[in-house]
Chain A
Amino acid sequence: GDSVTQMEGPVTLSEEAFLTINCTYTATGYPSLFWYVQYPGEGLQLLLKATKADDKGSNKGFEATYRKETTSFHLEKGSVQVSDSAVYFCALSDAGGTSYGKLTFGQGTILTVHP
């Protein structure tokens, strides 16, 4: 079945540091890939997405490129801020199947950014 694996956390960075959170996936069809973010006390929010190979999703300075050859969708940001402290979830939806609305999530990575 489909699965998503994220790098182990938590990740602790200083403000303005470079961020990478690794995400790899296994899927039988042609998945779409997503990054969701959960700020303290809030629900999951879509951060960015990519729906086909080589697409780059971007939002709020975050980027991730859909790499089919390495089955990866790593999240990057060049300069993190304290306000980026949150839990980040990589997820996929198997767009080649019938489960369009069903997301398969990774385990989440806690990011803490210190001033």
Chain B
Amino acid sequence: EPEVTQTPSHQVTQMGQEVILRCVPISNHLYFYWYRQILGQKVEFLVSFYNNEISEKSEIFDDQFSVERPDGSNFTLKIRSTKLEDSAMYFCASGADRDIRNSPLHFGNGTRLTVT
């Protein structure tokens, strides 16, 4: 069964550094998402992306965050200047349909980001 792949599985970075988290969604999917889970807290929606533009973003997704689909297969999340509070597990997801009642989201295994 096709799956969403995320790399790296664990990223350690220093505060203030830029970090790029990478995802390869399922190949025929058109809708892409990033979620994150701070340790001990809920999984939170960050952003949705379709047709090379952001569809929706949460209040967490400020100017320090950006997303890109640079080459038709990868989907990246960039954090320009990381803060300690950005430490979390970041999940990429993709879907074949905007309406997830028809087509469920498929999640990757996550990238654990640790900011020191």
Contacts and interface: CB of A to CB of B under 8 A. Distances in A.
A108 B100 contact: no
Interface stretch (B13-21, B39-47, B62-70, B72-80): B39-47
A90 to B, nearest CB: 10
Given A105-B43, A107-B41, A43 B109 contact: yes
A56 B35 CA distance: 27
Interface bracket on A: 20 to 34
Interface string A20-49: 000000000000101010000111111001
B8 interface: no
Contacts of A89: 43
Contacts of A70: none
Interface in B77-102: 91, 93, 95, 98-101
B48 A43 contact: no
A108 B56 contact: no
Interface of A: 32, 34, 36, 41-46, 49, 51, 89, 91, 93, 95, 98-108
